[in-house]
Amino acid sequence: MQNNDDFSVVVKNRANPPKPWRWEIHRAGRKSPITTSAEYFMTVTEANQAGKKALLLFLSEHQEP
């Protein structure tokens, strides 16, 4: 059974300016991200906000009945 606390959003600098930031969803105990943003963002804040929305969507789609 998965716990929502096992998942987190991490923002990484993965490209060149002006849009270097992307979010990644990670699960505890796993080195590589489960998913990453397809788009890049200008600021850490923008990437973090989009990542949090993506995490909520991810969790809602993967809930156990």
Q: Which two tokens stand for residue 63?
A: 């809930």
Q: Confidence class of residue 39 from pLDDT cuts 50, 70 and 90?
A: very high
Q: Domain spans of the chain?
A: 4-61
Q: What is the pLDDT of residues 1-33, one digit of tens each?
A: 467 889 999 999 999 999 999 999 999 999 999
25, β-bridge pairs: 9, 35
Q: Which two tokens stand for residue 38?
A: 């397809």
**pLDDT of 2:** 63
| Three-state SS sequence of the chain | CCCHHHEEEEEEECCCCCCCEEEEEEECCCCCCCEECCCCECCHHHHHHHHHHHHHHHHHHCCCC
pTM to 2 decimal places: 0.87
